[in-house]
């Protein structure tokens, strides 16, 4: 395979998947991992990808380049949440760093799908723990991480968000226990937490029953909003992690519900 052809194929693979491990890329391109690493470094210099521990994330269309700009293909990216990865990015990354401090090495945690939980999991790369998730993008983060014991639930694929849903997920989760569930939400309003998909809410309700603590990761834009399905009352959540933009009224609502409130510091 010619160098230009290999690089074009690499861009196409990453643009379509959104993320991948270096081992998998080397195998598909039939080159050494060092060759892939050099190609990835060049893409990083071009602002098209971001490297993680043992893997790489495509960020090209966050600056206006879709898959078509990457490899001459009009192949669509697989997950709708990729389009939201850059929305309120600073707040999500601040929340992710703050939530990381709630995790201890060796814990078993349950992580629901979402962009904020995705950034949270990026903060956990290289730490020794068990992670159970129904999110394919989150699972892909840990493909090459030897420190993490990854458990991916079964279930029906929901392509818009890259998550597994349905009775298989609920049945699987019912048979396991974890210390903490980290989840995100579409909206928090009047003492209730909402999400946008009924099957997702059913899976999240089962997850909440199987853990000792529930941590909600929600940037301040989610407060005062409402979505399709009610997930739970806010007083069923133990900890809420949000950003400094959260209004005093919403901070008081969280405290009145008996939740611990963690406000992520800028630049922390």
User: Tens of pLDDT along 193-246?
Assistant: 999 889 999 999 999 999 999 999 999 999 999 898 999 999 999 999 999 999
The pairs formed by 256-264 with CB atoms below 8 angstroms and a separation of 24 or more are 256/191, 257/191, 257/233, 259/216, 259/234, 259/235, 262/98, 262/99, 262/102, 263/98, 264/91, 264/94, 264/95, 264/97, 264/98
- What tokens does 182 get? 């980290």
pLDDT for residue 46: 83
155 pLDDT above the threshold of 50: yes
Please tell me which of 79-83, 145-149, 199-203 the model is most confident about, judged by mean pLDDT.
199-203
3 pLDDT above the threshold of 60: yes
CA distance 218 to 238: 13
Terminal alpha carbon distance of the chain: 45
CA distance 247 to 235: 19
Burial of 56 (0-12, 13-18, 19+ CB in 10 A): buried
Say what the pTM is: 0.72
pLDDT for residue 77: 43
CATH number of this structure's domain 3-77? 1.10.10.10
Report helix angle 89-100 to 115-122, nearest 10. 50
User: For residues 1 and 181, which has the higher predicted lDDT (pLDDT)?
Assistant: 181
Assign 54 a pLDDT band (cuts: 50, 70, 90): low
Domain spans, the chain: 3-77, 89-264
138 pLDDT above the threshold of 80: yes
CA distance 193 to 186: 8
Q: Which helix (H) or strand (E) holds 116?
A: helix 115-122
User: For residues 185 and 30, which has the higher predicted lDDT (pLDDT)?
Assistant: 185
CA dihedral 104, 97, 126, 140 (to 10 degrees): 110
* Residue 190 per-residue DSSP state: T
- What tokens does 258 get? 């008996």
171 pLDDT above the threshold of 70: yes
**Do 213 and 253 meet the contact criterion of CB atoms below 8 Å apart?**
no
pLDDT for residue 52: 67
* Residue 61 per-residue DSSP state: G
pLDDT for residue 8: 86
Q: Which helix (H) or strand (E) holds 148?
A: strand 148-152
Class of domain 89-264: alpha beta
pLDDT for residue 80: 55
67: CB partners within 8 A, 6+ apart: 12, 15, 16, 60, 61, 73, 74, 75, 76, 77
């Amino acid at each position: 395979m010619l160098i230009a052809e290999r690089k074009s194929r690499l861009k196409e693979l990453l643009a379509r998947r959104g993320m991948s491990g270096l081992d998998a890329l080397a195998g598909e391109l039939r080159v050494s991992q060092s060759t892939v690493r050099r190609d990835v470094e060049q893409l990083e210099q071009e602002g098209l990808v971001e490297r993680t521990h043992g893997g790489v994330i495509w960020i090209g269309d966050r600056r206006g380049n879709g898959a078509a700009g990457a490899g001459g293909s009009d192949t669509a990216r697989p997950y709708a949440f990729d389009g939201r990865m850059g929305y309120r990015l600073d707040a999500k990354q601040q929340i992710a760093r703050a939530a990381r401090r709630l995790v201890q090495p060796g814990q078993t945690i349950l992580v629901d799908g979402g962009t904020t939980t995705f950034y949270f999991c990026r903060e956990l790369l290289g730490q020794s723990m068990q992670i159970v998730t129904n999110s394919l993008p989150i699972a892909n983060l840990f493909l090459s991480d030897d420190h993490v014991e990854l458990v991916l639930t079964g279930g029906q694929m929901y392509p818009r968000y890259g998550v597994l849903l349905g009775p298989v997920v609920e049945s699987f989760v019912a048979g396991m226990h974890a210390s903490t569930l980290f989840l995100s939400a579409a909206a928090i309003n009047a003492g209730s937490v909402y999400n946008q998909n009924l099957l997702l809410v059913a899976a999240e309700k089962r997850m909440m029953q199987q853990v000792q603590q529930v941590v909600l990761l929600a940037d301040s834009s989610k407060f005062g909003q409402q979505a399709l399905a009610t997930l739970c009352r806010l007083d069923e959540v133990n900890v809420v992690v949000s950003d400094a933009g959260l209004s005093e009224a919403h901070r008081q609502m969280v405290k009145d519900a008996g939740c611990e409130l963690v406000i992520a510091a800028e630049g922390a």
